[in-house]
Structure 1
Amino acid sequence: MLLVMILTLALGAATADFFRLHRLRRRGAAAARLRLPAAWAVLTDLLPLAVAVSGVLVRDNTPAYMWFAMWALWLWLATVLPRLVFYLFELVRLPRTGRVLGVCVALLMIWGATTGRTRLHINRVEVVSCRIPAGFDGYRIAQLSDIHLGSVVRPARELQRIVDSVNRLRPDLVVFSGDLVNIRYTELDSTAMRILAGFRAPVVSVTGNHDVGVYVKDTTALPAAENLRRVIRRQQAMGWRVLQDTTLYLRSHGDSISLSGISFDPELRKKRHDKELPPVSKAAYRGVPDTLYNITVVHLPQLWPQIAEAGYGDLTLAGHVHAMQLKVRLLGRAWSPARLLYKRWSGRYDEAGSTLYINDGTGCVAYPMRLGAWPEITLFTLRHDPSCE
């Protein structure tokens, strides 16, 4: 769907450029005056094609290629969108307004690729339930998601900021809901491992679609299963506990709750953006008493209905969507292109006594920019509801 959106915008931009140049020519503009805007339009309109062609030609999705692809797409967006804004206002004979707004859009794109991409936002969420035992009243869980290490511009600086921010919240537990790397395990290098081992609270994690190696093209050199194995081993070396379709039990003040982790199934690669998914594997819940309050960590939020149907997931923590790194807030409501793909795409959802929370993540995919969908750390506080006693 993202590819379709990019191709649609590319076609629309190229069509708009053609008609504007044609209109200027009909008005009698000199050929010399048209050369520069024509060359600029052609050059920028070809950027998505350059990314697509190079993607076919390269042997593997190396870090260098992924950086080129992401920043080329950002450069295309940062030049095409302001131009389209200008064209629109030029059509209604407000060219000066169009120029001003076009410059504002360009500046906004630059801001999104710098401050907007890196400034962390802490979202505090309180979950109240009769099923939360009294011993867990006030228990604090910090959720992170979708770091996508291969797309981080300054790993040491940005990762340290994440770790320090989480530690200042003093959670009892840190949960990571998948997509630690972008393409391959080598992105989780010694520097990243050293910094991400610095959480003061215990860390549990699950795998996401980018962790399992399905985007490695040269599978002869690095099979997907081997990539996944090494991603997991490196997380374990950092002191993280990777939940691979399993459950652990948390204890506090003599009470217990269950924490289940569902691994990303590579078979879902082509369905990862579907609104509906096949039934979830119940392996993670084998032998888990349904009388205990259950927290389920899963990468894909589309699996929430199946988790609830299985009788678990009082609180389900997911990631994956990023709100497509673009969220517009207006009159107390939010909109994102993610709404076109996902039924539930960001933040908190409550249904039939269970809660889903979709963390917007901290990293980037496709283009290195965030606008509105800021990098997120979520701090959950569990509350026992005494009115149910």
Structure 2
Amino acid sequence: MRWIILLLIYAIVDIYSYQALRSLSKNGWIAVAYFIISAIVVGNLIYQFNQPSGDGTFTGARGYAIGIFLAFFISKIILTVIMLGEDIVRVPFAAFQKASGGSENFTIPSRRKFLSTVALGLAAIPFASLLYGMYKGRYDFRVLKYTLYFEDLPEAFDGYRISQISDVHSGSFDNKNKIEYGVDLLREQESDLVVFTGDLVNNLASEMDDWKSLFSKIDAKDGVYSVLGNHDYGDYHEWDSAQAKKDNLNKLKQTHAEMGWNLMLNENRFIEKNGERIALVGVENWGIGGFKKAGDLEKAGEGLQKEDFKVLLSHDPSHWEEEVKKHDKHYHLTLSGHTHGMQFGIEIPGWFKWSPVQYRYKHWAGIYEEAGRYINVNRGFGFLAYPGRVGIWPEISVIELKKGPKPA
């Protein structure tokens, strides 16, 4: 049924968007080519989704089918909107002409070639962008650096640096050299601490088998700490049994250990320096909107005092909004991921930031502050479903902690 609905929507958009091309040329071969390409694109999508998928996710040929479909479909939606806008004007105009006696026949004015040309130009922007995002954008790693000020930061940790990555989604990778470059870029930051904030895999622990040795190279003076994300539990895979799902999660936990990462499961550790300390707290996934709520902030914070300086690792930023930022124990800094910035948007650093995901998540990319409590939402290291990134690039966050008041 879902494919029938998709095909109906696609057919309507396809036929309507074709009007822009038809107004420029009525060549029959152009029409044939247009609709053949459309049929191939949607046919390939349906075909790929009806093939067996060992990991049950949108990777490989299935991922590319999604990406190509989106490139065509979004571009055609733009054409459709513009053509519809023109019809909203020209059809009532023809009706008015008829009603006022200006014309004996009801004749709709021809489409304007100029408007169709502009429409095609505008539609070419997302089309080219989405193809570029698959070709290069998904591995265009960026290091984003932030400096945060806290008056109650222990003196010994003034200038302390934390590197964060999130949402690796290793089952989507297909270029070892590019991933090696990203890992090396992380290591070059030489931060005091490295943290990973969930979604190491798409579904299966085995997705990390070919990548463990590479990610094992990540290290830091005070260690590498990690938490689980919603995908790590295997909830989106059809398991043969409950035991198989449990075994998969146990294997994934073991993978963290084999890489030298300290996986935190609703617990806390202290990091000490020159007789002073800060608390690192890690919770399991907790998210609104149907996502797993395995995180237990009360358990994770056992033994901590309000006065302790605390850095919390929590995969889903909705946790910060719902529980963390108003918690009595005062969690100074929360590090999250999950949103990927939707892998699509527009950012002009310091000026403008937009992505469709902001209509779902209040905090979706970068640093946010409320009442002296901060959250950083990492845009993600990997990708999922759409095999690319446009405007929202894969990120390595580097956060420097400074003691003192926030500069004016």
Q: TM-score surpassing 0.5? A: yes
Q: What is aligned with 1:295?
A: 311
State the Cα distance separating 1:72 from its structure 2 match.
Answer: 0.8
Secondary structure in structure 2 of the residue aligned to 1:112 = helix
Gaps of 5+ in 1: none
- 2:331 — aligned with what? 313
- Alpha carbons of structure 1 residues 296 and 20: separation in structure 2 relative to 1, 3 Å: closer
Distance 1:287 1:7 in 2: 56
Of 234, 246, 255, the residue aligned with 2:267 is 246
CA offset digits 1:169-217 (Å, max 9, x no partner): 110000000001111000111x411111112312100000111111221
Q: Which residue identity lines up with residue 303 of structure 1 in the other structure?
A: H
Quick one: structure 1 residues 281 and 223, their matched pair in 2 at CA, closer, same or farther if it must change by over 3 Å?
farther
**Distance in structure 1 (CA, Å) of the matches to 2:270 and 2:294:** 27
Q: Quick check: 1:217 aligned with 2:214?
A: no
Which amino acid in 2 is paired with 1:40? I
Q: Taking structure 1 as reference, are residues 125 and 149 closer, same or farther at Cα in structure 2, changes over 3 Å only?
A: same
Residues 59 and 217 of structure 1 are in contact (CA less than 8 Å); yes or no, is this contact kept in structure 2? no
* Count of matched residue pairs: 372
In structure 2, the CA distance between the partners of 1:8 and 1:117, relative to structure 1 (3 Å rule), is farther
Query: 3-state DSSP class of the match of 2:146?
Result: strand
| Distance in 1 between residues matched to 2:24 and 2:347, nearest whole Å | 41
Distance, in Å, in 1 between the alignment partners of 2:125 and 2:138 is 18
2: distance between equivalents of 1:45 and 1:151?
A: 22
SS in 1 for 2:233: coil
**Residues 220-229 or 293-302, more deviating:** 220-229
Is 2:136–2:388's contact at 8 Å kept on the other side of the alignment? no
TM-score by length of 2: 0.81
Q: TM-score, normalised by structure 1?
A: 0.85
Q: Which residue of 1 aligns with 2:12?
A: 15
Provide the residue aligned with 1:322 in structure 2: 340
User: Which residue in 2 is equivalent to 1:119?
Assistant: 140
Output the CA distance in 1 between the equivalents of 2:167 and 2:300. Answer: 22
What amino acid is the match of 2:358?
R
Deviates more, 1:277-286 or 1:130-139: 277-286
Opposite residue 355 of structure 2, the aligned amino acid is S
Runs of 4 or more off by more than 6 Å in structure 1?
6-10, 22-28
- Could you say if the C-alpha distance between residues 86 and 304 of structure 1 is closer, same or farther in structure 2, counting changes exceeding 3 Å? closer
Q: Contact 1:60–1:217 (CA<8 Å) still a contact in 2?
A: no
- CA shift for structure 1 position 46: 4.3
In structure 2, relative to structure 1, the CA distance for the partners of 1:314 and 1:8 (3 Å cut) is farther
One-letter amino acid of the structure 2 residue matched with residue 110 of structure 1: L
Give 1:333 shift.
1.9
Q: How far 1:340 moved relative to its partner?
A: 1.6
1:27–1:263 CA distance, 2 compared to 1 (3 A): closer
Q: Is the 8 A contact 1:13 1:84 kept in 2?
A: no
- Flag the 1:11–1:303 CA change in 2: closer, same or farther, 3 A: farther
Aligned-residue RMSD, C-alpha: 3.3
1:288 CA drift (Å): 1.5
Offset at residue 371 of structure 1 (A): 0.9
CA distance in 2, matches of 1:26, 1:83: 15
Hey, what does 1:286 align to over in structure 2? 302
Q: CA deviation at 1:105?
A: 3.7
Hey, what does 2:94 align to over in structure 1?
Answer: none
Match of residue 74 from structure 2: 81
Task: Please tell me the residue identity of whatever aligns with 2:38.
Answer: A
Change (3 A) 1:28 1:286: closer
Uncovered stretches (5+) of structure 2, i.e. residues with no partner: 84-110
**Larger Rg, first or second structure (1 or 2):** 2
Matches within 5 A, 1:72-151: 72-85=65-78, 92-94=112-114, 95-151=116-172
The correspondence for 1:261, drawn from 282, 296, 307, is 282
Other structure's SS at 1:198 match:
coil
SS in 2 for 1:309: coil
Q: Given the superposition, is the C-alpha separation of residues 161 and 28 from structure 1 closer, same or farther in structure 2, using an over 3 Å criterion?
A: closer
* Match 1:71 to one of 64, 67, 75: 64
Partner amino acid, structure 1, of 2:377: I
Query: What are the equivalent positions in structure 2 for 1:337-376 lying under 5 Å apart?
Result: 337-376=356-395
Task: Identify the residue that residue 194 of structure 2 maps to in structure 1.
Answer: 174
Equivalent residue in structure 2 for 1:43, among 28, 40, 43: 40
Relative distance call for 1:193 and 1:22 in structure 2 (3 A) is closer
Q: Could you tell me how far 1:384 is from its partner in structure 2?
A: 1.1
1:240-276 per-position Cα deviation (integer Å, ceiling 9, x unaligned): 10001100001112210100000125xx696239xxx
CA contact (8 A) 1:60 1:216 kept: no
Bigger Cα displacement from structure 2, 236-245 vs 113-122: 113-122
Aligned to 2:225: 204
